[in-house]
């Protein structure tokens, strides 16, 4: 059950973050030394913390919808948690490598996004492998 709630809560969180990114008043200007991205539409720092643009917002919405949909069953929520662990782990690594921290100029992965991606990946590992294995054993008994 915990893995299902992880999928739901993370899905709601990322869906909200994705929607908030579409409101220009919530975006502050990025610092002048921030890495440049080619997609400038809705580019800014969400709540003054997370570098973002429209593509980043769309990715957050997709992750959010996926998490909410994965809540429906334990199997799908386990797949979601494991996938999130891998995907966000890769995004974390990309965020700390200077050449890759803008996803080849498309999506900003630097700044506070690095910490967010690391925390999300670690939660995915915990709920995808540690908790979900315990839940699978309980269901089989």
pLDDT tens per residue, range 4-51? 999 999 999 999 999 999 999 999 999 888 999 999 999 999 999 999
- Give alpha helix (H) positions in 1-141: 2-20, 54-70, 74-96, 112-125, 132-140
Cβ–Cβ under 8 Å, residues 84 and 65: no
Number of domains in the chain: 1
pTM of the model: 0.91
* 40 contact partners, CB below 8 Å, separation of at least 6: 53
Domain that holds residue 65: 2-140
Summarised one tens digit per residue, pLDDT across range 67-117 is 999 999 999 999 999 999 999 999 999 999 999 999 999 999 999 999 999
Give the rounded distance of the alpha carbon of 65 from its chain centre.
12
């Amino acid at each position: 059950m915990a893995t299902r709630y992880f999928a739901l809560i993370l899905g709601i969180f990322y869906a909200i973050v994705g929607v908030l990114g579409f409101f220009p008043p919530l975006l502050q200007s990025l610092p002048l030394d921030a890495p440049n991205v080619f997609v400038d539409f809705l580019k800014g720092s969400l709540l003054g913390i997370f570098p973002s643009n429209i593509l980043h917002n769309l990715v957050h919405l997709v992750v959010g919808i996926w998490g909410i949909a994965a809540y429906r069953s334990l199997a799908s929520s386990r797949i979601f948690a494991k996938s999130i662990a891998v995907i966000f782990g890769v995004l974390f690594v990309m965020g700390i490598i200077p050449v890759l921290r803008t996803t080849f100029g498309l999506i900003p992965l630097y700044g506070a996004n690095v910490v967010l991606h690391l925390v999300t990946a670690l939660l995915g590992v915990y709920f995808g492998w540690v908790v979900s294995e315990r839940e699978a054993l309980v269901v089989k008994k």
